[in-house]
Amino acid sequence: MSFFRRPMLPLLVMCLAALLMRSPAAPAESSGARVLVGLISHQPTPGGSQANLRALEVAVRASVKSGAQFVVLPELSTTGSLSAQIPADQLAAEGVKDGPSVRHWKALCQELGVWLVVPILERTQAGRVEVALVLLNARGEIAMVQHKTLARTGREDGAVSRASFREMQDSVVANGVRVGIVSGDDLRVGVARLANRGAELVLAPSGWMKSDADPWRDLALDLARENRVTIAAVSREENAPFNGVFSSKGSAAPIASGDNWTVVPAALATRKWAVPSAMGLPAIVPVPAVDTGSDEIAALGERLFYDTNLSANGKVACATCHDPEKGFSNGLSKGTGVYGRTTKRNVPTLLNVAFRPLLQWDGYASSLENFAKYPFSGVAEMNFHYVDKVPTYLRRQASYVAQFASSMGVKEIEFEHVASALAAYQRTLISAESPFDRYFYGGEPAALDEPAKRGLALFQGKANCTQCHRIEKEAALFMDFQFHVTGHGYNRDTGLFNDIGLGSISTADQTGMFQTPTLRNVALTAPYMHDGGLATLEEVVAFYNRGGNANPRLDPMMRPLGLTVSEQADLVAFLKSLTGSRQYRAPSVRKAVPKHSVVAGR
């Protein structure tokens, strides 16, 4: 009580001083924040990349001086036009990682402490030229690259290629908010995908012309309202009506402007549900902007997850293959479904699955909600069709009807409600704060033993595991969200892959490619690889040490590592240090809902 008897004026002065010392541009660390976005308009001089860089830099500096925390450059603002008169081999294309303009912007971001979206022409290793959007963080590092899908170049020689429609789109935590990037031409599809990945702010460089003003401005406003996100869009043309920040409340007025730049406040929609993250993972767990979920919905999803009645024989639930005590895998090479049928591939963990943009080994499922339907309908899994059988069963259970109504306000249960509940539950399956995290992010030298420390040095160095299983400064998902050919499953006698992976749902040139799995909690999820063909971590390390299985499509990154026996043991020790502190168990008491317990009239 003595606190309340103290004079209040000194306390108020201290609080006021603390507020004044805080940077006026610092955003809140939670959803519903207000950030400032700098929008740069610039008509480039074709072939005048240095002059373009200088002009753009002046505008970036001015917008940052006026408080911008994020700055967006318009499409091709550095390289100029894609006129058909310029031969394909003379296009001002560069590499994303080491190109001259990217190096220039990296240095500027580091100097100014600003996040910057730079669209460039990228020349890929295969010789293709694509429009790439590069998001640089305030340290001058590449936080994300997104390639343009709808390449409106007008070139007859096809020199500029369209990116793959299956390229992953994700959001990243930037200045305490989740941010995504997308080309203006890809806005219609990209905004919805990014909103599903938890994006609160979408930065959209475009090449729109003033003649496009009405449709593109209206589209941006409609998408912002429909997806509950804020969109910051800019084109090369100054004072175009679609240059601005759009939210569910309309367009925002600039707070500062210059010759070819404006700074616009972006008020972000408040998220009603937040999933707690953990040390070593991104600070904000992606939650869809529209269907945000709740603890009650997640509890409903957990109940569905363990219900064996949602299968053809009444004996298989989601938890049958995704056993919480086995890291939400099953300890077998394949999944086991109804009537003893086995799945095509190994069961991946669901721990930290909220951070994955695409699900399944081949990335076929684009979201957790989309993913839910496949196990229900899979003949080798639950064989209980998601459109008719799942809702029909649930509508007949009085307790389910009551729980859907109380948690989601649902009067007539449809599968979309089931998918939302299951997705909400799976987003809560967070596991980190491992010995590695306490050592690497928590500053605890004793959290790792000496073999694991040596293994970490090998992981980042000689073994170069981080080229696919990335470790960032603030967080580590141990994934690169890419597809690779390791050669596992390649039959040298036939010259064929036992499982063609991504090639089965895409094109032949992606045969044998599988998505990089996370390594978090990897000690819990044996056996390994897409077919469960490697039984132990020791076998996995030995496989990569010999450079995988040679084949015509082997990823160039696959090469013999030259690790000694003791070094391989150290690497395994490090992998075992990635087990999170939070472990899950199946509910101790869970009564199956009697099938005869029906709602009157149904």
Give the tens place of pLDDT for each residue, 479-504.
999 999 999 999 999 999 999 999 99
- Which tens digit of pLDDT belongs to each residue from 146-165? 998 876 655 555 567 777 77
Mean pLDDT within 163-177: 85
Q: What is the pLDDT of residue 153?
A: 54
- For the entire predicted model, the pTM comes to 0.86
- Which tens digit of pLDDT belongs to each residue from 544-576? 999 999 999 999 999 999 999 999 999 999 999
Mean pLDDT within 79-94: 60
Token pair in block for residue 586: 């199946």
Q: What is the C-alpha separation between 89 and 200, in angstroms, rounded?
A: 39
* Element holding 57 (H helix, E strand): helix 49-65
- Which tens digit of pLDDT belongs to each residue from 423-436? 999 999 999 999 99
Q: What is the pLDDT of residue 1?
A: 29
Please provide residue 339's backbone torsions phi and psi, each rounded to the nearest 5 degrees. Answer: 60, 30
Question: Looking up tokens 């063609």, which residue turns up?
Answer: 500
| pLDDT over 60 (residue 119) | yes
Q: What is the pLDDT of residue 152?
A: 60
- Which tens digit of pLDDT belongs to each residue from 359-406? 999 999 989 999 999 999 999 999 999 999 999 999 999 999 999 999
| pLDDT over 50 (residue 594) | no
CA distances from 423 to 298, 313, 350, 373, 584 (A): 8, 24, 11, 11, 17
Beta strands in 137-251 (DSSP E): 142-147, 172-174, 177-181, 201-205, 230-234, 244-247, 250-251
How many Å is the Cα radius of gyration of the chain?
A: 26
Question: What are the DSSP calls for 323-352, one per residue?
Answer: BGGGTTB-SSSS-B-GGG-B-SSPPPP-TT
Handedness of CA 234, 236, 238, 241 (dihedral sign): negative
Q: What is the pLDDT of residue 82?
A: 55
Token pair in block for residue 434: 């491992």
Residue 10, SS3?
A: helix
CA distances from 553 to 220, 472, 488, 561 (A): 41, 29, 11, 19
Label each residue of 442-499 as H, E or C: CCCHHHCCHHHHHHHHHHHCCCCHHHCCCCCCCCCCCCCCCEECCCCCEECCCCEECC
Please report which confidence band the pLDDT of residue 588 belongs to, taking 50, 70 and 90 as the band edges.
low
Q: What is the pLDDT of residue 51?
A: 84
Mean pLDDT of the chain: 87
Q: Which long-range contacts (C-beta less than 8 Å, at least 24 apart) are formed by 156-160? A: 156/84, 157/84, 157/88, 159/88, 159/91, 159/129, 160/82, 160/91, 160/121, 160/129, 160/130, 160/131
Mean pLDDT within 68-87: 76
Domains of the chain with bracketed CATH: 29-267 (3.60.110.10), 295-324+344-427 (1.10.760.10), 435-576 (1.10.760.10)
Q: What is the C-alpha separation between 65 and 112, in angstroms, rounded?
A: 9
Q: What is the pLDDT of residue 133?
A: 94
- Which tens digit of pLDDT belongs to each residue from 124-149? 776 778 889 999 999 999 999 999 88
Mean pLDDT within 248-272: 92
* Element holding 220 (H helix, E strand): helix 213-227
- Which tens digit of pLDDT belongs to each residue from 445-458? 999 999 999 999 99
CA distances from 185 to 262, 267, 408 (A): 22, 24, 35
Q: What is the C-alpha separation between 235 and 241, in angstroms, rounded?
A: 10
Mean pLDDT within 27-51: 74
